[in-house]
Structure 1
Amino acid sequence: MDVLLRVLLSLSALAGIHSITTVSQVLVRAGGSITIPCLYESKYTNHVKYLCKGYYWNYCSDAIKTNHKINKRFSISDDKIQKIFTVTIKDLTEEDTDYWCAVEINGGRDERKYFKLSVTTETSSLDISNQEITGSIGSPIAIDCNSGEMKWCRLGRSCLTKSGSIDGTGFTISASVAGGFTVTMSELSKESSGWYWCVKGDLQMPVHITVTENNPYNNGQDATMPVDLNAYIIPLSLLIFIVLVTVFIWFMLKRHKQTKEAASAVTAAEEEITYSTVTHKRNTSSQSSPAESAVDVVYSSVIPMKQQHVPKVEANCENVTYSTLA
């Protein structure tokens, strides 16, 4: 009976150990940041996840939770599809040493897994240039690990110490000149996305691989490749020239239209000329007084006429009429 009880307790302990999987120890530089992945079981998909700070579980304090994310130094996100929540710690100091990945269990003891950060002010002996690496389906990618020991693992899966495959993805491990090693991933697929890490003794350095659809414009290279601006200089110059020519033509047409309208107004004014005829008549009425008879009565008639343009003819002696006034 005692043996059976011990076996049951051992199985329970083992089950608890594998409820959450994460790194054990990471070497980081002071002042920098680190992202830690925590893999959990499917039954905890809708549970609250959190990061607890402290060496002893019973005395650790909550740093951040998925249901309360407001914090300047800590951030947390939960990928419920891959069953991994990640925690990021910024502005690392020598006090950032002991942490726990944890899952809340309502009415029971929370599941947790301890990991240690070794903060140093010197150059890390296990380091990578970037924790986030992106690749394309069907295109290989390479990860440089600054580690003397050639060991490459996937979170929740197996580890490789030489070339091989994990979940259908091929890996080639080769030593580098700098004393570390390079991992080349081939036959990439969507399933290749996930968390991996380099290993050096008891230290690990997590790396997240994201595999996307192949981009035909970068030939499998990183999408962050710098753009060649020289290829855009000629088209841009041509576009600017076309715009300037268009503006110039529009300005000339507008100016021509304004000049034509002004000339039409002057012509219309010249054509509408009014002629008047004034006739002087003497008042001969018998009933008028002598004073009124002496006054001239002026009658006028005003006739508007269009001006007719008559071609000028030079005068000569035959076309001149002479008259004598008496």
Structure 2
Amino acid sequence: MDAYAKTKIFYISIGVWLILGVVSYSGWSKHVLTILTGGSVTIPCHYDKKCTQQKKYWFSEIDESNTYTNKTEENLSVIDHPDQSLFTVTMRNLQDKHNGHYYCVVETGEQSPINIIYETQLKIQSAPDVSVVSSSVSGHEGGDISVKCLYSSGYQIKLKQWCRYKDQSCYTVGRTDTSQNSSVQISDDDDGGRSFTVLMTGLRLTDSGWYFCSAGETLNPVHLTVTEAEPDTVSDKVNELLNVWLPALAALLLLLILVGVFTWRLRQRPKQEKHQIRGRNGSRATDMIYSKPEDPVIYSTINDEIPHDPNKDITYSTIDNVPGSEVMKSSAGGAIYSIIYSTVGPH
């Protein structure tokens, strides 16, 4: 059966009418979705942009029922997304009674009244043949994401792929396509043939959309959301800290320098004062007392290292010309003055 054009006669109920028509098929070849019993699945139905205003619906071959877009029932929602040129079908609480074929349909309003844009078969299983760890993943622009796809042992030798619904592009195990905006690499995991991992790096905003993991004809959908790159929060925090703390640290450093200089000056001051006191004491150690020019010159040595000691008595003495004192003579032999030594001590 041709993947892009086939004729199929079946009954579609629209309102109260049963229309027997010729259906043109423009979707992919039939795929099988294996879903866990009691689980749910969301299926994307991409359509041409020119069909934005046309009616779309989800058709079940089991009971020949159709559910138009923007309608929500207890376990079924069909929502149109014209800005993305697709509508999504979400089925919840799936049971064995839901096994069967389903179709995404667009009413064209042309010679061919309806257009099947996607056909799938649902298999509800307690252990799905193909499944994913997470049916929704997200990443930042320029970043990367990984998707883990699980499959049963019976699919070990089947072709594994990561495909995009929108443009029907597929990537196989071991292949890296660097010609695209993002790089895709698929690798079989070392777990005895039960899973493979899809790694997408260098994500772009345009990578957002619907994909699926597949092994053979069996697949499971995954939705990828790529958001704008986050600002470098680490650098922003560092800059913020620098702007706040750098002036404070500079002020603190200046304060420490001033305190250090002040402390050093205080430590140096006692040494200077002690040196000055010693200098003053030394300068007062010997005082010369001169008599009148016509009198003999008399020298007196007074020790006043502790001039203000209250424990010392001050003794005054009168020094006069004493016979037998030493007479200094000039070079001509004449006596010039006498030297009298007097010791003054406490009484």
TM-score where L is the length of structure 2: 0.53
In the alignment, the residues of structure 2 paired with residue 40 and residue 47 of structure 1 have an alpha-carbon distance, to the nearest angstrom, of 10
Match of 2:68 in 1: 65
Match of 1:106 in 2: 109
Match of 1:158 in 2: 169
Match of 2:76 in 1: 74
Higher Cα radius of gyration: 2
Code of the aligned partner of 1:116: Q
User: Matched residue of 2:34: which SS?
Assistant: strand
User: Matched residue of 2:50: which SS?
Assistant: helix
In the alignment, the residues of structure 2 paired with residue 193 and residue 186 of structure 1 have an alpha-carbon distance, to the nearest angstrom, of 13
TM-score where L is the length of structure 1: 0.57
User: Matched residue of 2:80: which SS?
Assistant: strand
Alpha-carbon deviations, 1:39-60, whole Å to 9, x = none?
Answer: 11122111121111115xxx72
Code of the aligned partner of 1:159: C
- Counting only pairs closer than 5 Å after superposition, residues 259-270 of structure 1 correspond to structure 2 as none
- Unaligned segments of structure 1, at least 5 residues: 1-9, 220-326
Change (3 A) 1:131 1:23: farther
In the alignment, the residues of structure 1 paired with residue 83 and residue 140 of structure 2 have an alpha-carbon distance, to the nearest angstrom, of 20
Alpha-carbon deviations, 1:92-131, whole Å to 9, x = none?
Answer: 011112211111233652112321001112x223111221
| 1:218 to partner: Cα distance | 8.3
User: Matched residue of 1:95: which SS?
Assistant: helix
Q: Do residues 117 (structure 1) and 122 (structure 2) align?
A: yes
Q: Do residues 17 (structure 1) and 17 (structure 2) align?
A: no
Change (3 A) 1:177 1:217: farther
RMSD: 2.8
In the alignment, the residues of structure 2 paired with residue 22 and residue 81 of structure 1 have an alpha-carbon distance, to the nearest angstrom, of 26
Residue 140 of structure 2: which of 136, 139, 145 is its match? Answer: 136
Match of 1:3 in 2: none
Change (3 A) 1:171 1:66: same
- Counting only pairs closer than 5 Å after superposition, residues 141-220 of structure 1 correspond to structure 2 as 141-147=145-151, 148=156, 149-155=159-165, 156-161=167-172, 162-165=174-177, 167-178=180-191, 179=193, 180-216=195-231
Residue 95 of structure 2: which of 88, 93, 103 is its match? Answer: 93
Residue 45 of structure 1: which of 26, 49, 52 is its match? Answer: 52
Code of the aligned partner of 2:65: S
| 1:75 to partner: Cα distance | 0.7
User: Matched residue of 1:146: which SS?
Assistant: strand
- Counting only pairs closer than 5 Å after superposition, residues 232-243 of structure 1 correspond to structure 2 as none
| 1:13 to partner: Cα distance | 4.9
- The alignment-based identity, stated in percent, is 30
**Does structure 1 conserve the Cα–Cα contact (< 8 Å) formed by 2:182 and 2:200?**
yes
| 1:170 to partner: Cα distance | 0.7
**Does structure 2 conserve the Cα–Cα contact (< 8 Å) formed by 1:154 and 1:195?**
yes
Match of 1:31 in 2: 38
In the alignment, the residues of structure 2 paired with residue 176 and residue 72 of structure 1 have an alpha-carbon distance, to the nearest angstrom, of 38
Match of 2:276 in 1: none
Code of the aligned partner of 1:170: S
Residue 130 of structure 2: which of 126, 131, 143 is its match? Answer: 126
**Does structure 1 conserve the Cα–Cα contact (< 8 Å) formed by 2:4 and 2:25?**
no
- Unaligned segments of structure 2, at least 5 residues: 8-22, 235-347
